[in-house]
Amino acid sequence: MSDITVVLQRMARGEADAAEELLRLVYGELRRMAAAKMAQEMSGHTLQTTALVHEAWLRLGGDRAKWQNRAHFFGAAAEAMRRILIDQARRRRAVRHGGGLERVDLDAVDLGAAIENDDVLLAVHDALEKFSRVDPKKAELVKLRYFVGLTIEEAAETLGIAEPTAKRWWVYAKAWLFQEIKRG
């Protein structure tokens, strides 16, 4: 009998720490399963392997679920991952989530290059003013990047934030501003 089967039996008896131990035992294999499933997905997929594993664990019911053995557990996990990927594909295709719209690569969007005439400059300014009211810190990052010309690293240091945080803020800010300018 495998370690996993023993832990599954402990879970069936209601032992409180058994679910945590099960997750520790199966996590690596669940990640391998998730990675294999993700490799079959289309490019542009937004779900990450770790997120798929965690969502599958939640859908499996964690400590509330009852599995007979290792094979039963991994079969249920594979089915949970499949359903998660199907649900996500349906959401992507849904009209209310932009189904059928063209996907824009935010790294290719260069707001600074678009400032070539007064109308565009004013549109960027107006969008940035609105953004400043919504999220002043991220707006400051935009100002440092586009109007001062700082790199992400320099802007992060200036704002006193971590570089990964600055990168996340930058992606969000570009998307927000791009949408606002498109609307205007």
Q: Tokens 């969008």 belong to which residue?
A: 127
Q: Please give the Cα distance from 141 to 126 (Å, whole number).
A: 16
For 2, the token pair is 């495998």
The 10s digit of each residue's pLDDT in 84-131 is 877 777 776 665 555 555 555 555 555 554 444 456 666 777 888 899
> What is the reported pLDDT for 25?
86
The 10s digit of each residue's pLDDT in 32-48 is 888 877 776 655 556 78
Q: Please give the Cα distance from 30 to 78 (Å, whole number).
A: 9
The fold for domain 106-183 equals: Arc Repressor Mutant, subunit A (1.10.10)
How is the chain split into domains, by residue range? 3-97, 106-183
Q: Please give the Cα distance from 49 to 45 (Å, whole number).
A: 11
